[in-house]
Copies of this chain bind each other. A is one copy, B any other.
Amino acid sequence: MRKMNVAIVGATGAVGTQMIKMLENSSLPLGTVKFLASKRSAGKQLSFKGETQTIEELVPDSFDQIDLALFSAGGGISAKFAPEAVKRGAVVVDNTSHFRMDPTVPLVVPEVNPEALREHHGIIANPNCSTIQMMVALEPIRQALGLKRVIVSTYQAVSGAGNLAIEELAQQTRDFAAEKPLAEWEASILPASGDKKHYPLAFNALPQIDVFAEGGYTNEEWKMINETKKIMGDDTIKVSATCVRIPVMSGHSESVYIETEKTATVAEIQELIANAPGAVLEDDPSQQIYPQALNSVGKKETFVGRIRKDPDEETGVHLWVVSDNLLKGAAWNSVQIAETMYEMNLFE
């Protein structure tokens, strides 16, 4: 195949910035690379492989001659422009939630369900950050032992909410350091920029990510529930989730409880993780070794530890799962999808 022309939509965002880094180090044979953003960001410059590039305004014709378009500029932008990109012959990897539950759109974690890529009609959806890392950890267990249920509580970083949320937490942190009273800390983004009320995150835990939907669950929680079943291709797995934002910049942590069909020892489960693609076992209580959000930053892998059996339930197992939400949770998984499609000759 000729070299691939790539467009990044939302190049200035928290995820877009990481997509550029992942693409710089990608095995894809790159032709031209375009950086697209809103009118507001058009004309700004950024560096790609040491060369200065100018951001262009996103319009439908931006996708002429483009083979691969990576979208991370919000669901509304994807809804409007992804079909335009497909119409012009591009394959779209979309990091927003817009197309994820569309039955005609593959929802892919390359370590878990790469074969789903063959069914694409131009758009491939990148799952939610908190779902992806859980899938990397659970798929090897599901394959070996079967998976009956998942109960997850997340400890999510602010970077998943974008650059303004990162700055909001940083400012509250500086306010603390300057001994500014709590009542004067400003919050206008978190927990959900589109929602009515905003609360400080510094030295707090906010049990709301995205807006509330049916049954008292947030959209983020429904994403984990529904996407898990779609990616694993099994609607019979029971899944429930509690999603919580904590004062961490990057690196999502998850307390994952599962029940398997077959029983296994901790050592056997550790071995499954150690041999799983994309996963790294960090699990030695005697040496205080377990995954930590701060250690995950900048790494593509998903780190798994604290593996242990429920003392009262034979098939119950706990895991502590950590990954850089901007990388495996977003930018890296998107670029990895493109690399996987390239290796599967799906760009022909």
Binding site for B on A (CB under 8 A): 149, 151, 153, 155, 170, 173-174, 176-178, 182, 191, 195-197, 199-200, 203-208, 212, 215-217, 225, 238-240, 242, 244, 246-249, 251, 253, 255, 257, 266, 285-288, 290-294, 305-313, 316, 318, 320
Q: Is the interface of A mostly helix, strand, loop or mixed?
A: mixed
A170 to nearest B CB, angstroms?
8
The complex is assembled from copies of this chain, and their number is: 2
What are 13 contact pairs spanning A and B, CB under 8 A?
A151-B310, A170-B176, A173-B177, A174-B177, A196-B288, A212-B288, A215-B311, A216-B285, A238-B312, A239-B311, A242-B320, A244-B253, A255-B255
B216/A266 in contact, CB under 8 A: yes
Contacting A308 at CB < 8 Å: which of B173, B204, B216? B216
- Contact of A288 with B217 in the complex, beta carbons under 8 Å: no
4 A-B pairs with the lowest CB-CB distances in the bound complex, closest first = A216-B308, A177-B177, A238-B312, A153-B255
A240, B315: Cα distance in complex, Å:
13
Check A247–B290 contact: CB distance below 8 A.
Answer: no
The smallest C-beta distance from A202 to any residue of chain B, in angstroms, reads 8
Contacts of A312 in B (CB 8 A): 149, 238-240
Name the CB-closest residue of B to A152.
B153
Chain B residues lying within 8 Å of A308, measured Cβ to Cβ, are: 215-217
Q: What residues of chain B lie closer than 8 Å to A307, measured between beta carbons? A: 216
Q: How far is the CA of A307 from the CA of B207 in the complex (A)?
A: 12
> Is A248's CB under 8 angstroms from B204's CB?
yes
